[in-house]
Amino acid sequence: MIKVVDLKKIFRTDEIETTALDGINMEIKQGEFVSIMGPSGCGKSTLMNILGLLDNPESGEYHFLDQEVSKYTERQKAQLRKENIGFVFQSFNLIDELTVYENVELPLLYLKMSSSERKKKVEEALERIQMMHRKNHFPQQLSGGQQQRVAVARAIVCNPKLILADEPTGNLDSTHGDEVMKMLTELHEGGTTIIMVTHSPTYAEYGSRTVHLFDGKIVTENFSGVFHL
């Protein structure tokens, strides 16, 4: 599903050049749950952003669903993104002015779906995260865990092939963190490919493979768990 070859990313300011990714080679198959770990500034989030087509690599190849996408235009990337990728962020990133229902509906709006179909899908997603009873609440009225569940619902509402979760439990206590991890596991069991950045070795264990990054390079890869195909 994903294949990156010698992927490099350099951040430049007037005086300093920082190499964030330094020749990453990696392959992720459909149905895998990959955890990415590493100290702060090792390039985890940069890698996630490039994989999520939110950022461009400096050099190297990026094959997504057998297409070389690193040279795609912004428009092409947006199209690919909205059809195939769901995002979950550490800081939830829900829109405060929209209700739970509307937040989850957001990606569907840009897929030009009929309103009845949208309703069906949003309700399905909300049922799945058991937040149906809160659908008319605004994000500020929810706990952190609930907000992250809504964010997950938003990520899965279009049935994406890939979910990118950037420290999804980072802002949550252990109870809520466990809740979110349980949901991601369920999704994985349902066949969705998941790439997750985490600082927590415990949560990294949920993945079928853990990739360790250091100074922009992959240092080790541990395999565990089972593939769900």
Partner 1 sequence: MIKHYLKYSYQILRKDKLFTLLNILGFAIGITVCSLIAFYILYEYSFDTLNKNYDRIYTVYSNADRACATTPFVFGTTIKNKIPGIQKSVQVLDGLWVLPGIVINNKILKIDNCYSADPELLDIFSFEYLSGSKIIFASKINSVLISQNTAVKYLKKDEQAVGKPIKIYMGGLKLNLKIAGIFKDAPGNSHLRPNIIIQIDNIKKLIPPKELNNWNSSAPTTYVLLTNPSVKSRVEQQINKLVPVNNSGYHLLPLADQHLRASNISFLIGKKGDINKIYIYLIIGFFTLLIACINYINFNTAKSAMRAKEIGIRKIAGANRWTLIKQLAAEPLILSCAAIPIVVALLALTLPYADSIFDRDIQATLFTNWNYFFALLALILLTGVLSGIYSAVLITVYKPLDLIRNQMNLKTSKSYFRNSLLFIQIVIFSGLIMSSLIIYRQMQLIKKIDIGYNKYCTLVTTFPGPPYYDQFKTFVKELKNYPGILNGTIASVVPPSEKDVIRMIGSSPSTKKAFCYSYIECDENYKDVIGLTLTEGRFISDASADNEIVINEKLEKDQRLKHAAGKYIDIFGKKLVVGVVKNFYMNSLYEPIEPLFMAKGKNISSYLALRLNPKDLSGGINLFKNKWKQFFPNLICDYFFIDEEFDNKYKDDQYFGTLIGTFSIVASLIAVIGLIGLTTYIISKKKKEIAIRKVLGASVFNIVYVLTKETLIITLFGCLVAALISNYFMEIWLRRFAEKISITPDIFIIGFCITLLITISSVALLAVKAALGNQMDSLRNE
- List contacts with partner 1 (CB under 8 A): 49, 52, 54-55, 74-75, 78-79, 81-83, 87, 89, 93-98, 102, 106-107, 109-112, 154
Cβ proximity to partner 1: between 26 and 98 the closer is 98
Write down the least CB distance from residue 54 to partner 1, Å. Answer: 5
Beta bridge partners of 227: none
Write down the least CB distance from residue 38 to partner 1, Å. Answer: 19
Cβ proximity to partner 1: between 112 and 133 the closer is 112
Tell me the residue length of the chain: 229
Write down the least CB distance from residue 134 to partner 1, Å. Answer: 18
Write down the least CB distance from residue 86 to partner 1, Å. Answer: 9
Cβ proximity to partner 1: between 65 and 78 the closer is 78
Run of H or E including 85? strand 85-88
- Residue 56, Cβ neighbours under 10 Å: how many? 15
- For 30-50, letters b (16+ CB in 10 Å) and e give ebbbbbbbbeeebbbbbbbbb
Write down the least CB distance from residue 82 to partner 1, Å. Answer: 3
Helices within the chain (DSSP H only): 44-51, 74-84, 100-109, 115-128, 144-156, 174-189, 201-204
Cβ proximity to partner 1: between 102 and 178 the closer is 102
Residue 219 to residue 128: CA distance in whole angstroms: 37
Can you give 131-178 as a three-state secondary structure string? CHHHCCCCHHHCCHHHHHHHHHHHHHCCCCCEEEEECCCCCCCHHHHH
- Residue 91, Cβ neighbours under 10 Å: how many? 13
Cβ proximity to partner 1: between 84 and 222 the closer is 84
Cβ proximity to partner 1: between 83 and 123 the closer is 83
Q: Report the relative pairing of strands 59-64 and 67-68 from DSSP bridges.
A: antiparallel
Write down the least CB distance from residue 142 to partner 1, Å. Answer: 16
